[in-house]
Amino acid sequence: MHNDIAEILITEKELQSRIAELGKEVAKDYEGKTPIFVGVLKGAIMFFADMVRATPIPCEYDFMAVSSYGAGTISSGKINLIKDLSADIKGRHVVILEDILDTGNTLRFVVDHLMEKEPASLKICALLDKPSRRTAPIEADYVGFTIPNQFVVGYGLDYDEIYRNIPYVGILKPEVYKK
């Protein structure tokens, strides 16, 4: 599995130190508000688990699942809702935790969907941002790392459902998905 990684882009240590900073920032911004963190399955789960533990304020959490990619490395653009929230977010402060903001199609869909539920506020926290690929009008309020336009895996991110359990973020060797 590790042999399929061309280069480690973000080490475990770098992930943890940046998440510690992000958690402090979010905790400061939501002091006294008891936000609901919404994780977007499945890619965000590692980031979600580390991020909520780095944010030392009372909070709730919930999950939703959407799909866009299939087995490719380029977003199909068509987003399907696979699992909706179980919590009622009406009047609540919501923070979406997502693995990566790429074209923006996924988060555009997620934000539009959640806004219909009338939260008091809605912000986006993305671990990774590939701004050069954006086609949908959307930006994150909190970004962990801005990365170049390369297909990355690990720390929750998959290629064809594999590599999610790699503890760092790495660039996948192109020959793996060109096969």
Q: How far apart are CA 75 and CA 27, in angstroms?
A: 32
Q: How far apart are CA 173 and CA 145, in angstroms?
A: 21
160 is catalytic: no
Binding map of Mg ion across residues 42-71, x = CB under 5 A, - = no contact: -x----------------------------
Residue with Cβ nearer ligand 5GP (19 or 98):
98
Kindly tell me which residue out of 23, 35, 104, 119 binds ligand 5GP, with binding defined by CB under 6 A: 104
Does residue 176 interact with ligand 5GP by CB under 6 A?
A: no
132 in Cβ contact with 161 (< 8 Å):
no
66 DSSP β-pair partners: 81
Kindly tell me which residue out of 99, 125, 142, 170 binds ligand 5GP, with binding defined by CB under 6 A: 99
Binding map of ligand 5GP across residues 105-144, x = CB under 6 A, - = no contact: xxx-------------------------------------
> Which residues contact residue 40 at a Cβ distance below 8 angstroms, ignoring those fewer than 6 apart?
63, 64, 65, 66, 96, 97, 98, 99, 106, 110
Q: Which of 99, 102, 129, 158 is catalytic?
A: 102
Q: How many CB atoms lie within 10 A of CB 151?
A: 18
Q: Catalytic amino acids?
A: 102
Q: Which residues bind ligand 5GP (CB under 6 A)?
A: 43, 68-69, 75, 98-107, 151-153, 157-159
